[in-house]
C-alpha cells in the first residue's frame, strides 16, 4: 500500500510545525545584516560629526544590500541560511501591504490613475525596444519575449509568470532572470546618483523609479536610498504596474499560441478571467485594502505609525535579501547578449520615463 506524499512545508506553516525552524537561521541573517546597515549609517554620521568632515550619508538600505552582495559573491550563502534568505520576497510584499496605510484612496486614485497612463506609454516603448534589440542581437525569440515582459512589468515575477504561459525553455528564463537581476543591481547605484545630479524631488524620483526599474524589490530599495517619500511613491507606481502583469502575459501567450508554440488560453470570458486572476499579484489587493481602511478612519495616528514601523522592519529584511540573492556570477554564465539587450533597453526606458514624469509633473501638478 502506498501513502500520499506530504506537501512541502512553506513559510506560512504554523509555528508548531518543526519544518518552520529551517527558516530561522536565514531570517536571523537578514535581520542582522539589516541592523548592521542601520548601525553603519549611524556610525558614519557620528564620525562626520566628531571629525568635522563632510562624509556622504549612505542609507542603511545600501549598506544592507552591499553586505549581502559581498557575502553572496565571495563565500556564498551557506545552505543552512538559504530557506530563510529566500523569504525576502515575503517581507517585501508584507512591507508593501502595510505601506498602504500611508495613502488614502484619493491619493491612490490620483497618482495611480496618472501613473497608469504613463505605464501604458512607457510599457509599450519598453516592449518594442526589447523585441527590436533582441532581434538585432539574434536572441532566441522566447528569450526576447521574457526580457520584454520583465522589462515592461515587474521583473522576475513577470518572467516566471510568462515562462509557463509561452512555454519557454528553462535556459531562456534563467538568462532573462540573470539579466534583469544584474540590471536591478546597476539601477541601485546609478538611479540615485542621477536623481541627485538632476536635483529631482523625492516625488519626481519616486515616480521615475516606479516606472523605470524592473524588479519590485530593486524598485523599493532604489527609491528608499533616495528617501522615504520617494519610496512611498515608487511603491504605489510599481504596484499599479504590477497589476498589469496578467494582461501582458495573456497577450504574449495568445501570440505564441497563434504560432502553434504554446498551449494558449481556452476561449471564453471565464477562462481569460481565471487566467488574469491567477497571474494577478494578490499583495496589491492587500495594499489597496489597507489604504481603504486608512481612508475610512479605521486606524488612529498611532496605528498608522505602528503600521509604518512594521513596514520599515519588513523592508529591512527585504533589502538584506536583495543583496544575498544577487549572484553576479550568474550573469557571466548567461553571456553578454541578454545583458546588453537589457542594458540598452533600461537606458531607453530610463530616459523615456524621466521625460514622461517631468512632463506629467508640470501638467498635473503632482508635487
Q: What is the pLDDT of residues 287-317, one digit of tens each?
A: 999 999 999 989 888 999 899 889 989 998 9
Alpha carbon separation from 267 to 165, 249, 274 (Å, rounded): 15, 16, 11
User: Does the pLDDT value for residue 8 go beyond 70?
Assistant: no
| Interval 66-89 mean pLDDT | 91
pLDDT at res. 367: 61
User: Does the pLDDT value for residue 57 go beyond 90?
Assistant: no
pLDDT interval class at 154 (50, 70, 90): confident
Question: Is 20 contained in some domain?
Answer: no
Could you read off the pLDDT of 122-140 as tens digits, one per residue?
A: 999 999 999 999 999 999 9
pLDDT interval class at 335 (50, 70, 90): confident
Question: Is 302 contained in some domain?
Answer: yes
Question: Is 191 contained in some domain?
Answer: yes
pLDDT at res. 362: 77
Question: Is 287 contained in some domain?
Answer: yes
Buried/exposed 223-246: b ≥16 CB within 10 Å, e otherwise: bbbbbeebbbbbbbbbbbbbbbbb
| Vertex 320 angle, CA 86 and 102, to 5° | 100
Alpha carbon 157 to its chain's center: 8
Integer Cα distance of 26 and 81 in angstroms: 4
Question: Is 53 contained in some domain?
Answer: no
Question: Is 63 within 8 Å of 346 (Cβ atoms)?
Answer: no
Integer Cα distance of 349 and 207 in angstroms: 13
| Interval 49-73 mean pLDDT | 80
Neighbours of 212 (CB within 10 A): 27
Q: Which residue has the cell 509604518?
A: 308
pLDDT at res. 207: 93
Of the listed ranges 84-98, 174-188, 212-226, 321-335, the least confidently predicted one is 321-335
Which runs of consecutive H residues, i.e. helices, occur in the chain? 24-51, 60-72, 82-85, 88-99, 105-136, 141-152, 155-166, 170-197, 202-212, 216-226, 228-242, 245-258, 269-279, 283-295, 301-324, 329-334, 336-364
Whole-number mean pLDDT of the chain?
86
Neighbours of 73 (CB within 10 A): 14
Integer Cα distance of 115 and 259 in angstroms: 33
Cell of 115: 501613473
Integer Cα distance of 86 and 45 in angstroms: 32
At residue 264, φ and ψ (nearest 5 deg) are 80, -175
Integer Cα distance of 284 and 242 in angstroms: 8
Question: Is 67 contained in some domain?
Answer: no
Question: Is 254 contained in some domain?
Answer: yes
User: Does the pLDDT value for residue 192 go beyond 60?
Assistant: yes
Integer Cα distance of 362 and 367 in angstroms: 9
Give 19 or 18, the one with higher predicted confidence: 19
Neighbours of 288 (CB within 10 A): 18
Cell of 312: 520599515
Could you read off the pLDDT of 218-241 as tens digits, one per residue?
A: 999 999 999 989 999 999 999 999
User: Does the pLDDT value for residue 75 go beyond 50?
Assistant: yes
Integer Cα distance of 230 and 24 in angstroms: 32
| Vertex 197 angle, CA 33 and 228, to 5° | 45
**Of the ranges 53-62, 112-121, 153-162, 231-240, the best mean pLDDT one:** 231-240
Percent above pLDDT 90 for the chain: 44
> Which domain covers residue 238, as residue numbers?
99-318+325-364
pLDDT at res. 9: 44
pLDDT at res. 347: 94
- The residue among 144, 142, 146, 151 whose CA lies nearest residue 124 is 151
CA atoms within 13 A on the CB side of 320: 26
> Structurally, how many domains does the chain consist of?
1
Percent above pLDDT 70 for the chain: 91
Amino acid at each position: 500500500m502506498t501513502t500520499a506524499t506530504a506537501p512541502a512545508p512553506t513559510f506560512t506553516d504554523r509555528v508548531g510545525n518543526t519544518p518552520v525552524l529551517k527558516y530561522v537561521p536565514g531570517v536571523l541573517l537578514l535581520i542582522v545584516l539589516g541592523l548592521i546597515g542601520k548601525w553603519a549609517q549611524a556610525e558614519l554620521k557620528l564620525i562626520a560629526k566628531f571629525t568635522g568632515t563632510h562624509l556622504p550619508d549612505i542609507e542603511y538600505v545600501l549598506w544592507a544590500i552591499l553586505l549581502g552582495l559581498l557575502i553572496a559573491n565571495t563565500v556564498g550563502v551557506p545552505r543552512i541560511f538559504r530557506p530563510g534568505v529566500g523569504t525576502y520576497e515575503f517581507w517585501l510584499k508584507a512591507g508593501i501591504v502595510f505601506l498602504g496605510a500611508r495613502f488614502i484612496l484619493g491619493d491612490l486614485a490620483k497618482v495611480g490613475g496618472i501613473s497608469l497612463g504613463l505605464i501604458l506609454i512607457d510599457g509599450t516603448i519598453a516592449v518594442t525596444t526589447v523585441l527590436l534589440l533582441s532581434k538585432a542581437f539574434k536572441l532566441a525569440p522566447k528569450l526576447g519575449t521574457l526580457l520584454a515582459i520583465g522589462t515592461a512589468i515587474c521583473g522576475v515575477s513577470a518572467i516566471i509568470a510568462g515562462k509557463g504561459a509561452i512555454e519557454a525553455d528553462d535556459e531562456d528564463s534563467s538568462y532573462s532572470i540573470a539579466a534583469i537581476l544584474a540590471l536591478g543591481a546597476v539601477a541601485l547605484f546609478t538611479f540615485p546618483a542621477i536623481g541627485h545630479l538632476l536635483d529631482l524631488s523625492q516625488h519626481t524620483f519616486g515616480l521615475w523609479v516606479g516606472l523605470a526599474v524592473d524588479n519590485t524589490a530593486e524598485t523599493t530599495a532604489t527609491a528608499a536610498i533616495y528617501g522615504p517619500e520617494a519610496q512611498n511613491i515608487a511603491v504605489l507606481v510599481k504596484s499599479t504596474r504590477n497589476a498589469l502583469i496578467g494582461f501582458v502575459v495573456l497577450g504574449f501567450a495568445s501570440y505564441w499560441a497563434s504560432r502553434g508554440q504554446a498551449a494558449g488560453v481556452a476561449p471564453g470570458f471565464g477562462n481569460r478571467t481565471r487566467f488574469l486572476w491567477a497571474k494577478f499579484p494578490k499583495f496589491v489587493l492587500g495594499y489597496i485594502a489597507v489604504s481603504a481602511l486608512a481612508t475610512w478612519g479605521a486606524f488612529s495616528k498611532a496605528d498608522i505609525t505602528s503600521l509604518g514601523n512594521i513596514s520599515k522592519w519588513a523592508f529591512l529584511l527585504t533589502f538584506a535579501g536583495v543583496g544575498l540573492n544577487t549572484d553576479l556570477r550568474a550573469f557571466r554564465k548567461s553571456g553578454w547578449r541578454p545583458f546588453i539587450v537589457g542594458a540598452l533597453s533600461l537606458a531607453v526606458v530610463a530616459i523615456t520615463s524621466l521625460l514622461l514624469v517631468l512632463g506629467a509633473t508640470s501638467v498635473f501638478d503632482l508635487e
